[in-house]
Amino acid sequence: MRLRPPRVGLVSLGCPKALVDSERILTGLRAEGYEVAPTYQDADLVVVNTCGFIDAAVDESLDAIGEALAENGRVIVTGCLGARPERIRERHPQVLGITGPHAYEEVMSAVHEHLPPRHDPRFDLVPPQGIRLTPRHYAYLKVSEGCNNRCSFCIIPSLRGRLASRPLDEVLREAERLVAAGVKELLVISQDTSAYGTDLRHARFTFRGETYAARFIDLARALGSLGVWVRLHYVYPYPHVDAVIELMAAGGVLPYLDVPFQHGSASVLRRMRRPAHAENTLARLKTWRSQCPDLTVRSTFIVGFPGETDAEFEELLAWLDEAELDRVGCFKYSPVEGAHANAIAPLVPAEVQEERYARFMLRAREISARRLAARVGRTIEVLVDRIEDSIAIARSAADAPEIDGIVRVRGGSALRVGERTLVEVTGADDYDLEAKRARATPSA
């Protein structure tokens, strides 16, 4: 009787960038004939891709490793927490191996050591777009690794290294393969997408008969030529980002920017060592919206940063009121081992952090509800994510998957997952829209 191929389970934790790392690991495993096991019991070995950005993520990662050991017993650890192997060995000395973030070759070597592959041409088949963990109609496209910024609360540069941009032609070829496989939306991610190509000295490449430089605006322009939604994440408010707003206004990429502002007080931003902290972000936002009225801006913020005073928090609320951001997330400051911010000033008491978090999120919710109410009566384009009974759960250009809102399309049972269609907005709540199908439909 023929032996079955070896089976590897994978637990993926953390951000979309880690998810892309997991997809690359799975693609490599499938290319060598490994099967992907859906449960611990079906796996011959389990890979846990960890997050180690904040203490809560470290705890979650250590718990996940412990669960994998208890349920399976044969575990290899990779990802950001793998950059601190002593933390893992201290709690879980029985793991088979530990590698750091985006260490694909080391992960494969560890798997080979503990579960050698069985080559069989009937198993060694991988689709051109690789193995993905997202639905068929959207995909994350990681354009670089690492970061050159030295924010005082962040240890990403020590975990993932300095900025290392992928060659533009390599990024575009991957994007083409994804679109050919049915992807309707590309979500561009990195640690600092707006810095893309600076380490490549803006080397020039030819794509589809056009010449592009390895820089942020050319990356956006080239991806926009593929005819699918292109959504830009992790964009810092540098002056050169202004150029992409014109591209958005012209329909080249989605009018959506994910900008991690983090705070609204200049003194807090200086203590955070945020890039572009000296920029007048409110003026820039006003200019962006005048050039592209449909622009959606999402951001994340930290409350309770060490030394944050009542006055600085009030500055943040005032900034938020004036900025009127569409989509907002917020975190209470959590000390990260090795972060410079821990020694800047005394920590804000937990009860004060909690009170500020609640006030901030209430203000953000009020702004979101007001901006969404203004969209009632408009006709917008949406992308269908799933069908629930007779309702299509979709997203507009203003909504990234899993982190933003949704559009519930009544009577949408005839729509297909991955289909783009026009809808008329009929209602709104704090974060989501209600809609019905419009008469005309764009080409998908």
For the segment 35-46, what is each residue's pLDDT rounded down to a tens digit? 899 999 999 999
Task: Indicate the pLDDT class of residue 113, thresholds 50, 70 and 90.
Answer: confident
Position 127 scores a pLDDT of 56
State the average pLDDT for the chain: 88
How far is C-alpha 429 from the geometric centre of its chain's CA atoms?
A: 25
Dist CA 30 CA 274 (whole Å): 40
Lowest mean pLDDT among 73-87, 188-202, 330-344: 330-344
Position 443 scores a pLDDT of 44
pLDDT at 4 over 90: no
Mean pLDDT to the nearest integer, 342-354: 89
pLDDT at 105 over 90: no
Mean pLDDT to the nearest integer, 373-380: 95
Position 2 scores a pLDDT of 43
Task: Indicate the pLDDT class of residue 33, thresholds 50, 70 and 90.
Answer: confident
Those residues with Cβ within 8 angstroms of residue 174's Cβ, 6 or more apart along the chain or in another chain: 129, 141
pLDDT at 444 over 80: no
Mean pLDDT to the nearest integer, 286-303: 95
pLDDT tens per residue across span 218-274: 999 999 999 999 999 999 888 889 999 999 999 999 999 999 999 999 999 999 888
| Angle formed by the axes of helices 310-323 and 350-373, nearest 10° | 10
Mean pLDDT to the nearest integer, 355-363: 96
DSSP lists the bridge partners of residue 258 as 298
Mean pLDDT to the nearest integer, 152-166: 82
pLDDT at 384 over 90: yes
Position 122 scores a pLDDT of 46
Q: What are phi and psi of 70, to 5 degrees?
A: -70, -35
Dist CA 157 CA 390 (whole Å): 47
pLDDT tens per residue across span 205-220: 888 878 899 999 999 9
Position 1 scores a pLDDT of 35
Mean pLDDT to the nearest integer, 109-134: 67
Dist CA 289 CA 373 (whole Å): 18
pLDDT at 115 over 60: yes
For the record, the structure tokens of 76 come out as 């290899």
pLDDT tens per residue across span 164-185: 999 998 899 889 989 988 899 9
73 Ramachandran zone, left/alpha/beta (phi>0; psi -120 to 50)? left
pLDDT at 3 over 80: no
Mean pLDDT to the nearest integer, 49-57: 83
Position 103 scores a pLDDT of 78
pLDDT at 197 over 60: yes
Please measure the distance between the N-terminal and C-terminal CA atoms of the chain and give it in whole angstroms.
47
DSSP lists the bridge partners of residue 380 as 423
Mean pLDDT to the nearest integer, 380-385: 95
> Tokens 């796996």 — which residue?
43
pLDDT at 52 over 50: yes
Position 205 scores a pLDDT of 87
Position 279 scores a pLDDT of 61
